[in-house]
Structures are given as C-alpha cells and as structure tokens.
Chain A
Amino acid sequence: MHFFSTLFAGLFFGTGLILSGMANPTKVQNFLDIFGTWDPSLAFVMGGAVLVTAPGFWFVQKRSTPFFHDMFHLPTRNDLDARLVTGAAIFGIGWGLGGLCPGPAVTSLPFATSGVLVFVPAMLVGMSLAKLTALPSRKTISA
C-alpha cells in the first residue's frame, strides 16, 4: 500500500500533466506569451489543481498523522529571503526559454523527443549545482 500510494500519486500527476497540456512546451510558452499567441488554458490547470488540493489538504490535515508516516512535513517558513526570490526568478527564465518545468520534463521522457533528452540531464546538473552551493545552510532548508 505504502509504495502503491506514491506510485499512483506519480501516475495521476503525470497523466494530469499530459491531459492538461502542461507537457507541451509550446502550449506553456503560449500561456506565458500574453502579448502574442496567448493560450490561457494553463490558468485552468492551476485552478483545477488548487480547487482539489486546497480542500483536500484541509481535510487530510484534520488527521494527526499521515497514513504511512509519523508526521506531516509541511514547509513552516513564512519569511521572505533573497534566495527564494532569486531562485524563483531564475526558474522562471528557464521555464520561459524551454517551456518545460521539472514535472512535465520527467513525464515526457518516455516520448523521447530530443529536446527533452537534452533538457532533463541539464536540469539534474542544475539541481545538483544548487544543492552544492546551498550545502552550508542546509539546516535552514530542512527547517
């Protein structure tokens, strides 16, 4: 059950990405291209997700613990720091350039388009680099 839950969570997530159009980089870029060939569809993806997640999270957290784990791991920080904004800004530039973010990139790997096969290894390198630079302050990350 334990592993089925994460496997199915991944499967639903990936299916949702494909069905919604998030796995199509041109559609993502069109969502961001508000002064050009704007396609507002992806606002509906985020809307649909939040409509399920917001009440779902509220309901789930009425339990004292999750089903297969001893505690909820919720981000608790509410301060704003330069790392958050800088990271988000850099992420957005990459998202705009390629039309891909981590979920859709991993999900479209089996379609094996050459673009994704270049993007994903580069993304993994970028992630490791960021972890490397952030190592001294790991305590604040896990907090």
Chain B
Amino acid sequence: METEFTPIASLLGGGLIGLSAVILMASHGRVAGISGIVSRILPPAIDTKGLPQGLTFIAGLLLAAPLFFGIVGQTPDITISNNMALLGLAGILVGFGSVLGNGCTSGHGVCGISRMSARSMIATVTFMTTGVVTVFILRHVVGG
C-alpha cells in the first residue's frame, strides 16, 4: 500500500525527536535510545537507580498519543500487518537485536550519528540494509 510523501511533517517530527534527545542529554547526560531506556528497567539486572527517569520518559511517550488525539481529534494513519505470528516474531527480533547491538533507530540512528560514532554508523547501515532486504523478501519474493 502506498503512503503519502510527507517531507515537512517528517522533518518537523524529526526535529521534535532531536529536541527530546537534547533535553535528555542536557538534563541527565543520557543518550535518548529507546531500546536502552526500556531494556534497563527489565529483568534481569534491573537498573533501579535509573528507574524513575526511565519510567517518567516512558510515561511521556505514552502520553503523546492521547495528547495528539485530544488536539487533532483523530488518530493518525496507522496501518499494520494483521499477521500476529509475524508481528510476534518481529517483536522478539527487534527486542533481542536492539539490546544485543546496544541500540536501535534512536540510539544509533539519531544520537549516535549526531555524535559521529563509528559504531553507530556501522549499526545504522547494517539495520537499514537487513531491513531493506527483509521488506524486499516479504513483499516481492514471498508476497509477490
């Protein structure tokens, strides 16, 4: 299914994500990597010291959708696969891979690249590549 090219909304949204990363760095000296923030409060070895920061950040993330709905009056366009087995597998791979590789789209893709980190650049190129290959297989080989 095609989606509309939205350069301005995407650029503005990206700017807000960047602002968030700067706030977190200025206030707590932390990189805004969502996989890190979420995984640190999961067992085993829960980071109890960072728990309040982690939970308030996640609370902020969860408030965004109701706030958007309250202001705009409708939910944004969200279309997602209805293949639950596929989404379960995707979830496990995303969770496992992001923790193993120490970061996801936000930690490596935004914060890491902004810091010119070689590790993050390699990670970003790697997950972009496997992502493109996966979607190609999913849509043009299997689903073709």
Contacts and interface: CB of A to CB of B under 8 A. Distances in A.
**Do A and B associate with each other?**
yes
Where chain A touches its partner, the secondary structure class is helix
B87 A50 contact: no
A74 B134 contact: no
B11 A126 contact: no
Contact of B45 (A57, A99, A131): A131
B108 A26 contact: no
A34 B132 contact: yes
A86 B114 contact: no
B93 A106 contact: no
Contacts of B89: 94, 97, 122
A84 B61 CA distance: 26
The number of chain B residues touching the other chain, given as a range, is 35 or more
Main secondary structure of the interface of B (DSSP, over half): helix
Given A71-B29, A91-B93, A84 B3 contact: no
A25 B17 contact: no
A75 to B, nearest CB: 7
A103 B16 contact: no
A11 B64 contact: yes
B104 A102 contact: yes
B91 A122 contact: yes
Contacts of A91: 93-94, 97-98, 100-101, 104, 127, 130
A98 B105 contact: no
A9 B3 CA distance: 28
Contact of A103 (B3, B28, B34, B76): B34
A40 B34 CA distance: 23
Nearest to B6: A41
Contacts of B108: 88
Contacts of A124: 38, 42, 95
B18 A48 contact: yes
A75 B109 CA distance: 14
A113 B52 CA distance: 28
A24 B65 CA distance: 12
Interface of B: 1-7, 9-32, 34-35, 38-39, 42-45, 52-53, 56-68, 75-82, 84, 86-106, 108-115, 117-119, 122-124, 126-136, 138-140
10 contacts: A10-B57, A12-B60, A13-B21, A16-B19, A18-B13, A19-B16, A56-B22, A89-B129, A101-B105, A132-B44
